[in-house]
Amino acid sequence: MSNDIDFEVLVQGLAAAGVKHSPSELQGVIAGLLATGHGGHNEELLGVLAAHVDMPEGFGAEMNGALLAVRDQLHGGYQGTGLELNLLLPADEDDLGLRVAALAQWSEGFLVGFGTGSANTHDKDLSPGVQEALSDLAAISQVATPDDDGDAEEDMFEQVAEHCRMSALMIYTELVMRHQGKPESAPADKTPPTRH
């Protein structure tokens, strides 16, 4: 399974563009938007991301291309068997605290993207499963970095990361796939309402 998007390259590109947010957080925002059926249109997606990082002038052509590649990879992951949906996190050999922080940022980003994409949706309109998944992601977004980095902590991290991945997939399946009625249709087929 190839992962064409290099976390470190994105870190450097974002830093060079003056963005203080992590690639994990931005991928989370994109994942949350896609899970509501939005984000398929380039201008919409880049506008949401630019607003999120407080860069009204945008990212520049190279970073735009990288962020759209992140979106396209996520979309492929959502549309596939589920195994292709990869969270954009630091490498396994990086410090566990760094990876835990990135997972918290991813979860926070997902909630932001989901909130943006479902702006006119009330909690009562969401299934209990979706509400629970969002609640779990909210809790994960607040998680503290571990004091230790032994095998037990590594295992826990892997389980939590997998839970985030499966939560995102479940939300996408319920809100997008089920409403489309035809899994082969891409979110870009729907014209989302403009939100200001």
Instruction: State which amino acid sits at residue 17.
Output: A
Place of tokens 């949906």: 85
pTM of the model: 0.87
Q: Please give the sequence-ordered ranges of beta strands (E in DSSP) within the chain, or none if there are none.
A: none
- For residues 141 and 80, which has the higher predicted lDDT (pLDDT)? 141
Q: For the segment 9-19, what is each residue's pLDDT rounded down to a tens digit? A: 999 999 998 99
CA–CA dist 14, 134 (Å, integer): 27
DSSP assigned state of 126: S
CA–CA dist 35, 75 (Å, integer): 9
Residue among 114, 125, 117, 127 nearest 168 (CA): 114
Residue among 93, 111, 123 nearest 8 (CA): 93
Q: For the segment 62-104, what is each residue's pLDDT rounded down to a tens digit? A: 999 999 999 999 999 999 877 789 999 999 999 999 999 999 9
Report the chain's terminal Cα–Cα distance, integer Å: 38
